Chains A and B, each alone.
Chain A
Amino acid sequence: AQKVTQAQTEISVVEKEDVTLDCVYETRDTTYYLFWYKQPPSGELVFLIRRNSFDEQNEISGRYSWNFQKSTSSFNFTITASQVVDSAVYFCALSEWNFNKFYFGSGTKLNVKP
């Protein structure tokens, strides 16, 4: 079974719109970690955020915010007032404490048009 699902394959928005990228995960562990990575057109993978399963507090970093809800097994990522530079593929990932392995979703490609 797929452990991380990113159902949105591709999203297109116009600059300054808000956009939310969905991530749903599956695990039986009580201790786990969730991550978001950004892959711009240049191809490198950039770490954005890490959350652990015991901390459901939402986090905001500038225009980025993350909503972690254990009840729905979701870890969604919102970009406020999107910019062209936000155009990238965004990956959600899960790691389970006991296994030191990471499971990535298939990614969501975000296109921000001027």
Chain B
Amino acid sequence: NAGVTQTPKFQVLKTGQSMTLQCAQDMNHNSMYWYRQDPGMGLRLIYYSASEGTTDKGEVPNGYNVSRLNKREFSLRLESAAPSQTSVYFCASSEGFGGRGGNQPQHFGDGTRLSIL
């Protein structure tokens, strides 16, 4: 069972470079999420997609863009990377649909460790 797959697992970028983090789920889930995890701050929501074709900002969206390519895939793009975006990024999915789906647990990928020099 693949679940939620994130690529790449590790990446080092220089300030100003761009990059897209990929995420795919094979559980036929409607909702997908991108979080960043920083020491002492838990997980903070960057963007989420409550259903195919929709995306919404989370708590910390600045500097990021997302694309819900289809039901399976949800990508996160850094257009001009900054050292403050050094973090571990997690993608997650859940069965929740539309605006009402918070009752379903999220399933997480293994994370992408991103360092920006």
CB neighbours of A25 from chain B (8 A): none
CB neighbours of A43 from chain B (8 A): 88, 110-111
Cβ of A15 under 8 Å from chain B: no
Measured CB to CB, the nearest residue on chain A to B113 is: A43
Number of B residues with CB within 8 Å of any CB on chain A: 28
Are B42 and A50 in touch, CB under 8 angstroms? Answer: no
Number of A residues with CB within 8 Å of any CB on chain B: 26
Report how far A35 CA is from B9 CA in the complex, Å: 26
> Chain B, 42-58, contact with A by CB distance < 8 Å: what is the 0/1 string?
11110010100000001
CB neighbours of B106 from chain A (8 A): 35, 47, 102
Number of residue pairs spanning A and B whose beta carbons lie under 8 angstroms apart: 63
CB neighbours of A57 from chain B (8 A): none
CB neighbours of A47 from chain B (8 A): 105-107
Are A100 and B99 in touch, CB under 8 angstroms? Answer: yes
Are B100 and A44 in touch, CB under 8 angstroms? Answer: no
Cβ of B108 under 8 Å from chain A: yes
Are B100 and A98 in touch, CB under 8 angstroms? Answer: yes
> Chain A, 89-100, contact with B by CB distance < 8 Å: what is the 0/1 string?
001000111111
CB neighbours of B50 from chain A (8 A): 100
Partner of A106, one of B42, B90, B100, B110: B42
Chain A residues with a Cβ under 8 A of chain B: 6, 9, 32-33, 35, 37, 43-45, 47, 50, 52, 91, 95-107
Chain B residues with a Cβ under 8 A of chain A: 31, 33, 35, 40-45, 48, 50, 58, 88, 90, 92, 96, 98-103, 105-108, 110-111
